[in-house]
Amino acid sequence: MAAMMRRAWFAFFLWFSFCSLAAAAQPANPNSARAISAALHARNYSAALALLAPALRQSPNDAQLWTFAGLAYSGQGQKTEALQSFKKALGISPQYLPALEGAAQLEYQSGDSQAEALLERVVKLVPGDTTAHTMLASLAFQNHNCAEAVAQFDQSGSDFQSQPFVLRSYGICLANLERYAQAQEIFVRLLAQPGDDPRDLERLAAIQLALNRPADALHTLAPALTGHPSAVVLAEAAEACEQQKDTPQAVSLLHRAIVENPADTDLYLQFADVALVHQSFQVGVDMLSAGLKQAPDSAALFVARGVLYVQLADYDHAESDFEQADKLDPQLTISEAARGMLAEQQNDLDKALAVVRGKLRKSPNDPLLLFVEADILAERNPEVGTADFDQAMAAARQASDLQPKTTDALDLLGKLDLEADNNQRAVDESREALRRNPGDQPALYHLIVGLRRTGQKEELPALLQRLAVLRQKATREEAEHNRYKLIEESDNNTAAGK
């Protein structure tokens, strides 16, 4: 997609630079400049270059002439010479906008890292330059920096909105930033345009699932579900059905998805998720084992199966799977975190700590490992003020800072601070956790305890009510999960039954 975007912008930018140059023209020799400009206008680049040679000899420090040369070389496809000419112009006049735009365009086209800096110089000179903002957005998108991309897109006006590939990148980034409602609008518009990327349908359904609108997702997927749907479409439909509490249909669709694309490990993981939620651990293990026959090197499948083995109290197999996952993908910190937690669950806290710290030496800033380290240390029940207690606090705080969206580490901090009688700090941490996740029950409870201890009682009635509501919601959700259990049928299929 990035290359396509660059190609599209290239032609536009050439014209754009030329217009800027015309507007900015302050020629040393007006006659000569007019002739060169006319040649460029007529796309007669060789004539323009012929005129430029004497002019440059006469005025070698004329930024405008060097910019003309850049445009002429660009027109002839001589990008190296063109870039050298633009840079020469910028060496003479660093703020010369046409040269900046020309150089930026060429760097952008070649995917050079200099493009971003040049474009930023452009928007500094012309803050409302929507084209430059769009290009900066595209560069940010290519660099997986959605926050920056969306910020730039938001300053790009509406020019890009007629170009599906650019619009799509905007929509993808909005979704990545969890601005799902806006993302949904964009993909609805993209789908309304005929002959576009068929995967937009899958993307829109994914966004609707994220919005908890399974009926909308199924409606979106409906055209793709007729005939011969892809595994992705089937999996999304399965997710929508599961969200609608129609577990039997979800399981059936997932089966079809796996048959359609047995090599897609995500499908087995999704199945394992359903099995986990519905307490059908052995069925989940069996499906993951089938997945591992297809993808024996999938560390994720081993981790998932290990976790299901934990539920079955089959700790030996769980340990073996976590170890295998770590061998297969030493970069995957979750496997060692899980091993550490498994040892923690078995009350082998020394082993748990050794496993996690071993991995932390290689990945010292991994928030999950840091959280697990903090949790293990807290399980050792260190006295307040001891090195272990302080390290538990430090690791939890670091984990929380590194992963500002999650609340596990903050909850642990709140608990430790309550234990240490740092009640106001626990209050603050609980408030932050609740800001991140308003449904965080431990944080809400810690907040209640902290406020009670610090004599701040005004909020308590409302917080107690909120806790009661949260608990009722959790009970309802649990009841929904408990409606179905997955069972193996005689032909090795799996079904969900009440």
Partner 1 sequence: MKITRRSFVSSAAGALLLPSEWLAAAQQQGVASRGVAPQARPPASGRPFNAHFANVAQQAGLRIPTIYGGIDAKKYILEANGCGCAFIDYDNDGWIDIFLLCGTRLDSAPPEATNRLYRNNRDGTFTDVTDKAGLHAVGWANGVCVGDYNNDGFEDIFCTYYGENRLYRNNGNGTFTDVTREAGLLRGETRWGAGCSFVDYNRDGHLDLFVSNYIRFDLARAPVPGQASTCNWKGIPVNCGPRGLPPGRHLLYRNNGDGTFTDVTKESGIAAATESYGMTVVAADFDEDGWTDIFVACDSTPSLLFMNNHDGTFREEGVLRGVALSEDGMEQAGMGVGIGDYQPVGHLDLFKTHFMGDTDGLYRNDGTGSFDDRTRAAKIGVETRYVSWGTGFADFDNDGLADILIVTGNVYPEVERVLPDSPYKSPCILFRNLGNGTFEELGAEAGPGIAEPHPGRGCAFGDFDNDGDVDVLIVNMNEPPTLLRNDLSGRQNWIKIFLEGVKSNRSAIGARVLVHYGGKVQAQARVSQSSYYSSCDPRLHFGLGEAKTVDVEIFWPSGLRETIRGVPANQLVTVREGAGIVKNRGWSRS
Binding to partner 1 (CB under 8 A): which residues in 250-269? 266, 269
**Ranges within 107-146 binding partner 1 (CB under 8 A):** 141, 144, 146
Measured from the CB atom, the residue of 465 and 493 that comes closer to partner 1 is: 465
Measured from the CB atom, the residue of 98 and 414 that comes closer to partner 1 is: 414
416 binds partner 1 per the rule CB under 8 A: no
Measured from the CB atom, the residue of 92 and 467 that comes closer to partner 1 is: 467
**Ranges within 429-488 binding partner 1 (CB under 8 A):** 441-442, 444-446, 448-449, 452, 460, 464, 467-468, 471, 478-479, 481-485
13 binds partner 1 per the rule CB under 8 A: no
**Ranges within 266-305 binding partner 1 (CB under 8 A):** 266, 269-270, 272-273, 276-282, 299-300, 303-304
Distance of closest approach, residue 40 Cβ to partner 1, in angstroms: 37
Distance of closest approach, residue 399 Cβ to partner 1, in angstroms: 11
Distance of closest approach, residue 91 Cβ to partner 1, in angstroms: 36
Residue 260: Cβ within 10 Å count: 17
62 binds partner 1 per the rule CB under 8 A: no
Distance of closest approach, residue 87 Cβ to partner 1, in angstroms: 31
Measured from the CB atom, the residue of 45 and 371 that comes closer to partner 1 is: 371
Distance of closest approach, residue 486 Cβ to partner 1, in angstroms: 10
**Ranges within 64-103 binding partner 1 (CB under 8 A):** none
Stretch that binds partner 1, among 73-81, 95-103, 128-136, 413-421 (CB under 8 A): 413-421
Among 11, 192, 313, 387, binds partner 1 (CB under 8 A): 313
Distance of closest approach, residue 407 Cβ to partner 1, in angstroms: 11
Measured from the CB atom, the residue of 114 and 441 that comes closer to partner 1 is: 441
Among 82, 175, 355, 426, binds partner 1 (CB under 8 A): 175
Q: At what angle do helices 231-243 and 247-260 cross, to 10 degrees?
A: 170
Number of residues that bind partner 1 (CB under 8 A): 88
Distance of closest approach, residue 338 Cβ to partner 1, in angstroms: 4
Distance of closest approach, residue 146 Cβ to partner 1, in angstroms: 8
**Ranges within 196-225 binding partner 1 (CB under 8 A):** 202-203, 205-207, 209-210
191 binds partner 1 per the rule CB under 8 A: no
Measured from the CB atom, the residue of 157 and 497 that comes closer to partner 1 is: 497
Measured from the CB atom, the residue of 95 and 482 that comes closer to partner 1 is: 482
Task: Say if residue 476 is exposed, middle or buried (CB neighbours under 10 Å; 0-12, 13-18, 19+).
Answer: exposed
Question: What is the Cα–Cα distance from 156 to 293, expressed in whole angstroms?
Answer: 49
Distance of closest approach, residue 235 Cβ to partner 1, in angstroms: 7
Pick the closest to residue 200 from 213, 214, 183 (CA basis): 183
**Ranges within 352-391 binding partner 1 (CB under 8 A):** 368, 371-372, 375, 379-381
